[in-house]
Amino acid sequence: MTVIAYDGLYVAADRLITNNDGMKGVSRKIDVWEDWVLATSGAADHGEAMMIWFKDGKDPKAFPQHTDGGEKGAYLYAFKHKNPVLCFQTWPAPILFPMTEFAAGCGSDIARTAMHLGRDAREACRITCELNVFCGGGVEYVDLSELAATGNAAVRSYSQ
């Protein structure tokens, strides 16, 4: 399960991963590619395949098809400074979310509420991890203004 939050300045995500048998671990869900920040939620293998597809040039013919009857698909979100959020799931054309605050994953309602109440995306993810048992494992983030200004930004760990 996942929480991803975007407030116009930061993209943040938790690190908890789970499987159907109740096992859990931690994994990176966000990555920087050129001037984009990519984040995935849902089935980790499908999300990773979509990240590779995006990095390889987004050829529509090479879009990774999910073949598990729709039950365990993934979402790929692409964030860029001062651009709408792009969301890919079942088709190589994105859904556009032209919002200044955006959240996704099973913790999205908590994260959106936290941002609505004035918290940034990093804090929204941290709060979500405290309140949703399916989110956790720490929070990582990327500063979009740093990426836009320098062409480079690291994925950083967030702690209060």
CATH class entry, domain 3-158:
alpha beta
Mean pLDDT (whole number) for 89-113:
95
Angle of CA points 153, 158, 160, to nearest 5°: 140
Using CA atoms, how far apart are residues 34 and 19, in angstroms rounded to an integer? 31
pLDDT-wise least confident of 6-10, 18-22, 48-52: 18-22
Q: Of all residues in the chain, what percent carry a pLDDT higher than 90?
A: 80
Using CA atoms, how far apart are residues 58 and 19, in angstroms rounded to an integer? 28
Higher-confidence residue: 44 or 103?
103
The pLDDT value given to residue 143: 98
- Give the domain ranges of the chain: 3-158
C-alpha closest to that of 105 among 47, 146, 57 = 47
Query: Which pLDDT band, with edges at 50, 70 and 90, does 68 fall under?
Result: low
The torsion defined by the Cα of 9, 15, 19 and 23, in degrees rounded to 10, comes to -160
pLDDT-wise least confident of 21-25, 31-35, 106-110, 151-155: 21-25
CA quadruple 142, 48, 40, 158: dihedral positive or negative?
Answer: negative
User: What average pLDDT does the structure give for the chain?
Assistant: 93
Query: Which pLDDT band, with edges at 50, 70 and 90, does 72 fall under?
Result: low
